Amino acid sequence: MRHPSLMTLLAAALCTASLAPVLYAAQPAFDEQKLAQACDGLLAAPLAAGHLQTLAAAARDSAVEQPLRSRAMAAYGLALLLQGQTNGFASAARALAAAYPDAQPLLRVTADQAYAICDTCKGDAVQGALCPTCMGSGACKSCSGTGKRGTGVCTACKGNKLCPRCLGKKRVLTACPTCLGSTKVFKPAPEILHNYSNLLADVSGIVRENATFRERLAAANSETDTDRRIAAFQGLLQTFSHRADLGPAVDLMEKAVLNRDRRESERLAQEARVRERREQEALLALRDSPDIDAALATLDAYLAAHPQASATAELRALRDELAARRLRAARLRTALHIALGLGGLLLAALAVKALIPARRPRPSGPLPGLDKIDKRQFTDPLTLTAAESRTRVKTHTAQIPPDAG
């Protein structure tokens, strides 16, 4: 199996880090379902080559949205670590940090955790073994432990009879065959696999959620009934409130709300117009009302309350007409009252006259007794002088003294 070069991965991450946020909200150009299938496959077989290639492709692809791509990068690095490629893991970690500085917590292990202390040498790097030179006898093999060779001293042990390799200790220290003297053996800690599995499961979960989210977004957007549309968007935003790509959904919902509010205000305005027209028709019908006072009071109250009503001029004209009619009626009434009053008086007078008995005319003739008076004893007062009148007053007599004057 051949994994994509880590340097390619790093370069791709560096080049596209600045573009990633712009592409984030776009529809997936990358086959997310294929990535989810690969992750599910890797959960079962952590190092399956085909699936690892899909994971690496997602890590490189700048069209993949951040939550998926950052996890793919981290998971791919861990896959390398699980294979003992510590340098590859380090490169992947650097690429992740460069592309998504906030995504560091995705990697919860270090390269050291892929290695453990060698069990064979317990970290000593060496182990004791039978001296291969003396085969564990400790004696010099050249002189068979005599110290002499021929007539001279044994040159191998310089006469001390001990095996020159182990110096008579019979055992020697050799590099640990297990760790080859490195003291550590490749033994990934369970945390690495745990971290890896969690990331793979995360990717699968995100892909499923993305699919659900896009489905519901499309369903909400295809809803034509305004109220149901708003409810669909509200439910969507509530369910997926943790997502960072809700901008388009929020915009669509705000548009729907504005649309609903506009329609509602139009409906209310239409209702108000109909109501006003109905009221005005009822008011105009007051023209035929027998109760002019009540009609005028109603009109005045309406005009005071609705100075801007559409039919104000018409209603004012009606009001003036009714007021004029009331004035004419009042004058007519007054004239009628006067006429009735006069008629009444006339009738009363006639009645009184009818009740008074007619006086019998007195028989004409001289005043009683007048015929018996002595006309000579009377003097016409008009013939008297002033002196005669004064004398008559003094004497209390009607007679005129004969010598008066």
- Residue number, 156 or 203, with CB nearest to Zn ion: 156
Please report, as residue ranges, which positions from 113 to 172 form the binding site for Zn ion (by CB under 5 A).
118, 120-121, 131, 133-134, 140, 142-143, 154, 156-157, 163, 165-166
Q: Count residues near Zn ion (CB under 5 A).
A: 18
Q: Is the Cβ of residue 169 or residue 306 nearer to Zn ion in the bound state?
A: 169
Helix (H) or strand (E) holding 173: strand 171-175
How far apart are the C-alpha atoms of 215 and 33, rounded to whole Å? Answer: 14
Rounded to 10°, the helix 49-60/32-44 angle is 140
Using the contact rule CB under 5 A, the part of the chain among 83-91, 112-120, 268-276, 329-337 near Zn ion is: 112-120
In 3D space, the residue among 313, 80, 354 whose CA is nearest the CA of residue 93 turns out to be 80
Give the residue among 339, 284, 343, 288 at the shortest CA–CA distance from 314: 284
- Between CA 90 and CA 9 the distance in angstroms is 12
For Zn ion, which is the closer residue by CB, 165 or 243?
165
Q: In angstroms, give the least distance from the CB of 186 to Zn ion.
A: 12
Per-residue x/- mask for Zn ion, residues 231 to 250, rule CB under 5 A? --------------------
Q: How far is the CB of 114 from Zn ion (least distance, A)?
A: 16
Closest to Zn ion by CB, 142 vs 221, is: 142
Distance CA 125, CA 179 (A): 7
Query: Closer CB to Zn ion, residue 140 or residue 299?
Result: 140
Nearest distance in Å: CB 6, Zn ion:
29
Judged by beta carbon, residue 93 or residue 139, the one nearer Zn ion is 139
Positions in 53-92 near Zn ion (CB under 5 A): none
> How far is Cα 83 from Cα 66, in angstroms, rounded to an integer?
26
Among 179, 252, 253, 318, binds Zn ion (CB under 5 A): 179
* Closest CB 152 distance from Zn ion, rounded Å: 11
Q: How far is the CB of 80 from Zn ion (least distance, A)?
A: 24
3-state SS of the chain: helix, strand, coil percent to 5?
60, 5, 35
Q: Which H, E and C letters describe 41-105, residue by residue?
A: HHHHCCCCHHHHHHHHHHHHCCCCCHHHHHHHHHHHHHHHHHCCCHHHHHHHHHHHHHHCHHHHH
H helix intervals, 285-311: 292-305
Task: Give the nearer residue to Zn ion in terms of CB position, either 169 or 260.
Answer: 169
- Only segment of 176-184, 210-218, 335-343, 379-387 that touches Zn ion (CB under 5 A): 176-184
Cβ 173 to Zn ion shortest distance, Å: 12
Site for Zn ion in 303-342 (CB under 5 A): none
In the bound state with Zn ion, the residue whose beta carbon lies nearer, of 125 and 303, is: 125
What is the Cα 308 distance to its own chain's centre?
Answer: 36
Q: Which of 66, 178, 289, 298 binds Zn ion (CB under 5 A)?
A: 178
Q: Answer for the pair 207, 168: CB distance below 8 angstroms, yes or no.
A: no
**AA identity, residue 289:** S
Q: Closest distance between Zn ion and the C-beta of residue 112, in Å?
A: 17
- For residue 172, what are the β-bridge partners? 129
Residues 17-56, mask of contacts with Zn ion (x by CB under 5 A):
----------------------------------------
Nearest distance in Å: CB 149, Zn ion: 7
- Give the integer Cα–Cα distance in Å for 320 and 323: 5
Q: Are 97 and 127 in contact (CB under 8 A)?
A: no
Please, which residue, 20 or 154, has the CB nearer to Zn ion?
A: 154
Question: Which residues would be at the binding site for Zn ion (CB under 5 A)?
Answer: 118, 120-121, 131, 133-134, 140, 142-143, 154, 156-157, 163, 165-166, 176, 178-179
